[in-house]
Amino acid sequence: MPERPPILVVEDDTALREAVADTLEIAGYHAIPAADAEQALAWLEKSTPGLVLTDVQMPGMDGHAFLRALKQRRPGIPVILMTAYGQIERAVEAMRDGAADYLPKPFEPDRLLAAAARHYHQPGDRPLDGLVAEDPASISLLNLARRVARSEATVLLSGESGVGKEVFARYIHAHSPRAKGPFVAVNCAAIPENLLESVLFGHEKGAFTGATNSQPGKFEQANGGTLLLDEVSEIPLNLQAKLLRVLQEREVERVGGRGMITLDARIIAASNRDLDTWVKEGRFREDLYYRLNVFPLEIPPLRARPRDIPSLARHFLKRFETTIGRGGFILSEAALAELTGYGWPGNIRELCNVIQRAMILAPGLEIAAEHLMLPRQHALPTAAAPGQAGSGEGGLKDMERDAILGTLRRLDGSRRRTAEALNMSERTLRHKLKQYREAGFLDGDDLL
């Protein structure tokens, strides 16, 4: 049986470093101590740990810089930050840069061991935190993702909001020949239109007001690795033309620049829109669509892979133990029935929020159905006889109608907010509401 990989402990305080290492050794792990980030990086050039525990305040390279350097070189290794209470806000920000968790100092040995057990990774483990595949639909999709990962083909991930498109993108990167390179994700919908060109392609000093320094864009930052263009449908048409040229020529010119920069990044695009429809409506360039859609992967909504729900729920129970401050939660049978009988319009993101809320509300360690607080209008229809409503396409249409009308009522009849909440255009929402009114599901103009 292969030896388990060690845990790398990076801490400049000798007494604390030895205490953490001793605690891990007593629990059956092999701990490798390092006095600073530079020593740790040198060790990482030769070996691969199952987990890295690092202090934040260290002389020379601090924990945040060490995290960024580690994630550029070895993105698959989980990292836990050990930080003083006054630095927790920065530690939470670091989790967005790839940290798996943080431990506020001082911490008890059992909290250290709980965090280590939760994030420790060894060969044969699932490669990414949060990627659970128990349903046949998910397993089939992962097999496809693993196959395309070995190629350089551009991948287009589609699916509803919250299904885990970025998690799948990271999975593809982790199984690709570029796994040791950077993984760079950019949410194209979250960046103002007047800044998006600079963010994607970079800019030179003085290119515009406020450009006091030259800055590489996301394409350059992803050289040698993978670039995820999340919500790619939200890129304005005028920038789509430049994006197409960058993808075709594999070179980019910074804003205000005079020379071309060669690119070597694998591109993954993601969208919760129906891009085929957007092309027909003239909202997305057809040539860019076919350039991105080399290998399409559609991620099914959570309601279409129900066997994933219990495993995901238990995963989130462990994930939030540190945040909630207690562990050992279990789900009652009634709670499991509620979870699997719900339609999950917000998909995995909604499930994550529901579990965290239930952990807060539960007075003990057993989570009951009432602690989930799931809205009834999104409950899945019960099994129906063949030909009755609730089966096949009719059942899905009923679910969609219930989701739309329930959201509309919850948001006091605001079509704009409803469209945003459901990730659809106001035009599509108006069309569906007109159909519902004609079919008798809406009385007059009470919600319009």
> What is the DSSP annotation of 318-367?
HHTHHHHT----EE-HHHHHHHHTB--TTHHHHHHHHHHHHHHH-SSSEE
**Which residue ranges make up each domain of the chain?**
7-119, 136-298, 320-378, 392-438
d(Cα 4, Cα 116) in Å, to the nearest integer?
A: 14
The H or E element containing residue 8 is strand 7-10
d(Cα 83, Cα 63) in Å, to the nearest integer?
A: 9
d(Cα 252, Cα 249) in Å, to the nearest integer?
A: 8
pLDDT value, residue 157: 96
pLDDT value, residue 296: 93
Give me 410's structure tokens. 């919850």
Q: Does this chain's domain 136-298 share its CATH topology with 320-378?
A: no
DSSP single-letter state for residue 153 = -
Residue 154 CB partners (closer than 8 Å, separation 6+): 247, 266, 267, 268, 269, 291, 292, 293, 294, 295
Strand spans (E) along 174-302: 183-187, 226-230, 251-252, 261-262, 266-271, 295-298
pLDDT value, residue 147: 86
pLDDT value, residue 350: 93
What CATH number is given for 320-378 in this structure?
1.10.8.60
Number of H-type helices and E-type strands within the chain? 20, 14
d(Cα 143, Cα 398) in Å, to the nearest integer?
A: 32
d(Cα 326, Cα 335) in Å, to the nearest integer?
A: 19
d(Cα 337, Cα 171) in Å, to the nearest integer?
A: 30
Residue 346 near residue 355 (C-beta atoms within 8 A): no
What CATH number is given for 392-438 in this structure?
1.10.10
pLDDT value, residue 387: 34
The dihedral through the CA atoms of 268, 273, 274, 277 has a sign that is negative
Phi-psi region of 344 (alpha: psi -120 to 50; beta: other; left: phi over 0): left
Is 124 buried (19+), middle (13-18) or exposed (0-12) by CB count in 10 A? exposed
d(Cα 154, Cα 149) in Å, to the nearest integer?
A: 10
34 DSSP β-pair partners: 10
pLDDT value, residue 400: 66
d(Cα 14, Cα 22) in Å, to the nearest integer?
A: 12
Statement: 136-298 belongs to CATH 3.40.50.300: yes
d(Cα 75, Cα 174) in Å, to the nearest integer?
A: 8
Tens of pLDDT along the chain (448 residues)? 346 789 999 999 999 999 999 989 887 889 999 999 999 999 998 888 989 999 988 989 988 889 888 877 776 688 898 887 556 556 556 665 667 777 888 888 878 887 787 677 655 444 444 477 778 888 888 888 888 998 999 999 999 999 989 999 999 998 899 988 999 999 998 888 878 888 888 878 777 766 677 788 899 889 999 999 999 999 999 899 999 999 999 998 888 777 788 899 999 999 999 999 999 999 999 999 999 999 999 999 999 998 889 889 988 898 888 888 888 899 998 999 899 889 999 999 999 999 999 999 999 999 999 999 998 767 665 433 333 333 333 444 665 677 777 777 767 788 887 777 666 677 777 877 877 777 777 654 444 4
Q: Could you tell me where the DSSP H helices lie in 211-346?
A: 218-221, 237-249, 275-280, 286-292, 308-319, 321-324, 333-340
What is the CATH superfamily name and number for domain 7-119? Response regulator (3.40.50.2300)
**Residue 88, Cβ neighbours under 10 Å: how many?**
14
b or e along 375-409 (b: 16 or more beta carbons within 10 Å of the residue's beta carbon)?
A: eeebebbeeeeeeeeeeeeebeeebebbbbbbbbe
